[in-house]
């Protein structure tokens, strides 16, 4: 049993699972889900009011309950925010938020109900924002699982590091709290570390499975990647900080979608957005030497690298790595497309893609052309040069990411159907669990339940 499209997709990839039922408070979300999982039962209801006596039994329960910080007062504020038109002039219908989502207590209520029926739910996962653990009733809530006979594990995982077997690794930095639980009657505990250690490369030991290390040892593990924890090489005597493998945001971008020159916009971008783009340009610009003709390949080289023999005519220029300007909120203003995307939220699309205006015609066509070109997963912009030594904001190309790209950033499979307007689809995606995270977490639970090993994802070549 699951809450939405993301968790269901991930669970679907785990051998031996079958979706029994999906519940959501939002009609559009549950209708979208039904299109993709026609075999399961679907319910749209105020989950906090649902009478679980009439609900089917499920061996595994995935729950993404309402964030407790969105209580009545802040909930109202959130609805008002939804009524602010976005870049496409769209607002969200009130029914996207008016019904109550499941609360954290409803998870315990369902588990207790099944125990009263004589068949305990064998295991599951609760997902939430990391501040969920700061809820003042968190302790009694957690204690509830133990009182109902469950062993629990508190997990802090960034979706960029959930190295799933089947689901696309999410090219997004998304820090979330998870509570995994397995009933003691199962007799085995999940091997969480097997699933949670991401692939990484240690400069001294090569390919390893990195070990999560929280900076503060005086309290329970909690927090975000980099800010509150890092990953280290697991080898004895090493332990250096290493970066887990992660897909870059460029993986989510459809480079064939045209973008508009900022100077040509009818409705100018907000000053704050322009400032962020200007700031991003300074951050990601690199000086390049661009060979215009040459037999040694047409690779542009950064000026700080050893210069090749200058036998050919050349030009110098400035290029920048395409980047995402973050239009609202967040701790950062922009992020390179070679890094994972910043967190997708439900409040609206706020990812603006900034690419270059004109490239030097060193491809031999003699024509300058826009640089909205496909970038391989790990290639750099070194092969692009710019005629001008300076890049004006007005000359850059800009567009918002499309819902399909947001979907890829959320690790949704290609072709997953979502109903509604652009903004509604982004809302559903922002609320979702990334399937790569639900896949690895439920894999750990299923292994404990069945006692059969599942092979985790190999490191990509
Ligand atoms: Zn090492």
How many whole angstroms separate alpha carbon 6 and alpha carbon 225? 21
CA of 378 to the centre of ligand 1 (A): 23
Q: Which residue has the higher pLDDT, 86 or 47?
A: 47
Asked if 220 contacts 253 with a C-beta cutoff of 8 angstroms, the reply is no
CA of 170 to the centre of ligand 1 (A): 25
Of 409, 300, 395, which is closest to residue 354 (Cα–Cα)? 395
CA of 49 to the centre of ligand 1 (A): 52
Residue 309 has what pLDDT?
36
Residue 89 has what pLDDT?
63
Residue 377 has what pLDDT?
29
CA of 271 to the centre of ligand 1 (A): 46
CA of 94 to the centre of ligand 1 (A): 52
How many whole angstroms separate alpha carbon 296 and alpha carbon 312? 10
- Whether the pLDDT of residue 178 is over 90: the answer is yes
CA of 230 to the centre of ligand 1 (A): 14
The CATH topology of domain 5-198+415-450 is: Rossmann fold (3.40.50)
Residue 381 has what pLDDT?
35
For residue 447, give the 3-state DSSP assignment.
Answer: helix
What is the helix (H) or strand (E) element at residue 27, kind and residue range? helix 27-36
CA of 243 to the centre of ligand 1 (A): 12
How many whole angstroms separate alpha carbon 130 and alpha carbon 149? 25
Written as one string, the DSSP assignment of 141-193 is HHHHHHHTTEEEEEEEEEGGG---SSSPPP-B--EEEEEEEEEGGG-----HH
Q: What is the mean pLDDT of residues 171-176?
A: 95
Residue 96 has what pLDDT?
52
Q: Which residue has the higher pLDDT, 278 or 61?
A: 61
CA of 193 to the centre of ligand 1 (A): 18
CA of 239 to the centre of ligand 1 (A): 6
How many whole angstroms separate alpha carbon 174 and alpha carbon 252? 15
CA of 182 to the centre of ligand 1 (A): 33
How many whole angstroms separate alpha carbon 385 and alpha carbon 361? 9
What is the helix (H) or strand (E) element at residue 10, kind and residue range? helix 5-12
Q: How confident is the model at residue 46 (pLDDT cuts 50, 70, 90)?
A: confident
Residue 88 has what pLDDT?
55
Asked if 3 contacts 23 with a C-beta cutoff of 8 angstroms, the reply is yes
CA of 211 to the centre of ligand 1 (A): 11
CA of 447 to the centre of ligand 1 (A): 29
- Whether the pLDDT of residue 295 is over 70: the answer is no
Residue 360 has what pLDDT?
38
Strand partners, 289: 301, 316
Q: Which residue has the higher pLDDT, 69 or 33?
A: 33
CA of 240 to the centre of ligand 1 (A): 6
Scan for tokens 């989502």, then name that residue. 101
Of 437, 431, 399, 401, which is closest to residue 418 (Cα–Cα)? 431
91-150 residue pLDDT tens: 666 555 555 667 899 999 999 999 999 999 999 999 999 999 999 899 999 999 999 999
Of 298, 411, 400, which is closest to residue 355 (Cα–Cα)? 400
Per-domain residue ranges for the chain?
5-198+415-450, 199-244, 255-401
Instruction: Choose the weakest-confidence range: 167-171, 219-223, 344-348, 376-380.
Output: 376-380
CA of 410 to the centre of ligand 1 (A): 31
In degrees, rounded to 5, the angle at the alpha carbon of residue 386 between the alpha carbons of residues 384 and 392 is 130
Residue 165 has what pLDDT?
97
- Whether the pLDDT of residue 164 is over 90: the answer is yes
Token pair in block for residue 8: 């269901």
Q: If you ran DSSP here, which 8-state letter would residue 207 be given?
A: E
Of 108, 103, 81, which is closest to residue 25 (Cα–Cα)? 103
CA of 202 to the centre of ligand 1 (A): 5
Residue 139 has what pLDDT?
96
CA of 286 to the centre of ligand 1 (A): 31
CA of 159 to the centre of ligand 1 (A): 23
Asked if 60 contacts 124 with a C-beta cutoff of 8 angstroms, the reply is yes
Q: How far is CA 97 from CA 66, 149, 377, in A?
A: 11, 34, 37
Backbone phi, then psi, for 302, in 5-degree steps? -60, 145
**349-363 burial string, b = 16+ CB within 10 Å, else e?**
bbbbbbbbbbbbebe
Would strands 301-302 and 41-44 be described as parallel, antiparallel, or unpaired?
Answer: unpaired
- Whether the pLDDT of residue 78 is over 70: the answer is no
CA of 377 to the centre of ligand 1 (A): 25
What is the helix (H) or strand (E) element at residue 67, kind and residue range? none
Residue 324 has what pLDDT?
92
What whole-number percentage of the chain has pLDDT above 70?
75
Cα dihedral 356→358→363→367 (10° resolution): 160
Asked if 417 contacts 148 with a C-beta cutoff of 8 angstroms, the reply is no
CA of 157 to the centre of ligand 1 (A): 22
CA of 204 to the centre of ligand 1 (A): 5
For residue 225, give the 3-state DSSP assignment.
Answer: strand
237-247 residue pLDDT tens: 999 999 999 99
345-383 residue pLDDT tens: 877 668 999 987 544 333 333 333 334 433 322 223 333
Contacts of 264 (CB under 8 A, 6+ apart): none
Q: How confident is the model at residue 77 (pLDDT cuts 50, 70, 90)?
A: very low
CA of 235 to the centre of ligand 1 (A): 6
CA of 199 to the centre of ligand 1 (A): 13
Q: How far is CA 201 from CA 156, 193, 207, 243, in A?
A: 21, 18, 5, 7
CA of 162 to the centre of ligand 1 (A): 21
Contacts of 338 (CB under 8 A, 6+ apart): 248, 249, 250, 321, 378, 380
Instruction: Choose the weakest-confidence range: 212-226, 251-265, 348-362, 430-444.
Output: 348-362
């Amino acid at each position: 049993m699951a809450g939405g499209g993301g968790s269901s997709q991930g669970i679907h990839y785990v051998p031996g699972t079958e979706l029994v039922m999906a519940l959501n408070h939002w009609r559009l979300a549950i209708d979208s889900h039904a299109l993709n999982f026609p075999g399961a039962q679907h319910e749209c209801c105020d989950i906090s009011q649902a009478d679980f006596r009439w609900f089917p039994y499920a061996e595994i329960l995935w729950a993404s309950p309402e964030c407790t910080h969105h209580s009545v007062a802040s909930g109202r504020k959130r609805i008002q925010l939804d009524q602010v038109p976005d870049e496409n002039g769209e607002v969200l219908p009130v029914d996207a938020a008016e019904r109550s989502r499941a609360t954290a207590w409803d998870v315990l209520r369902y588990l207790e109900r099944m125990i009263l029926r004589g068949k305990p739910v064998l295991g599951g996962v609760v997902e939430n924002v990391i501040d969920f653990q700061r809820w003042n009733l968190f302790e009694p809530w957690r204690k509830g699982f133990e009182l109902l006979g469950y062993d629990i594990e508190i997990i802090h995982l960034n979706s960029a590091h959930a190295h799933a077997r089947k689901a696309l690794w999410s090219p997004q930095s998304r820090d979330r709290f998870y509570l995994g639980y397995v009933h003691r009657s199962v007799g085995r505990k999940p091997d969480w570390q097997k699933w949670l250690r991401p692939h990484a490369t240690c400069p001294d030991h090569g390919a390893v499975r990195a070990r999560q290390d929280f900076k503060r040892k005086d309290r329970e593990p909690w927090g975000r990647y980099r800010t509150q924890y890092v990953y280290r090489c697991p080898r004895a005597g090493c332990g250096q900080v290493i970066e887990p493998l992660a897909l870059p945001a460029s993986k989510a971008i459809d480079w064939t979608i045209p973008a508009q020159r900022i100077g040509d916009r009818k409705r100018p971008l907000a000053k704050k957005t322009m400032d962020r783009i200007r700031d991003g340009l300074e951050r990601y610009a690199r000086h390049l030497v661009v060979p215009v003709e040459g037999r040694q390949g047409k690779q542009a080289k950064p000026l700080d690298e050893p210069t090749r023999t200058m036998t050919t005519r050349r030009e110098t220029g400035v290029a920048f790595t395409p980047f995402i300007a973050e239009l609202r909120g967040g701790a950062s203003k922009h992020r390179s497309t070679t890094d994972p995307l910043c967190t997708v939220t439900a409040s609206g699309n706020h990812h603006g893609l900034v690419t270059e205006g004109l490239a030097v015609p060193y491809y031999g066509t003699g024509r300058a052309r826009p640089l909205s070109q496909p970038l391989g997963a790990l290639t750099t912009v070194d092969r692009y040069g710019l005629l001008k030594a300076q890049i004006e904001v007005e000359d850059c190309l800009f567009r918002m990411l499309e819902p399909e790209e947001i979907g890829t950033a959320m690790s949704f499979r290609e072709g997953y159907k979502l109903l509604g307007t652009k903004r509604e689809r982004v809302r559903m995606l922002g609320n979702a669990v990334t399937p790569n995270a639900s896949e690895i977490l439920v894999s750990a639970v299923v292994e404990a339940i069945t006692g059969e090993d599942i092979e985790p994802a190999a490191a990509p070549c």
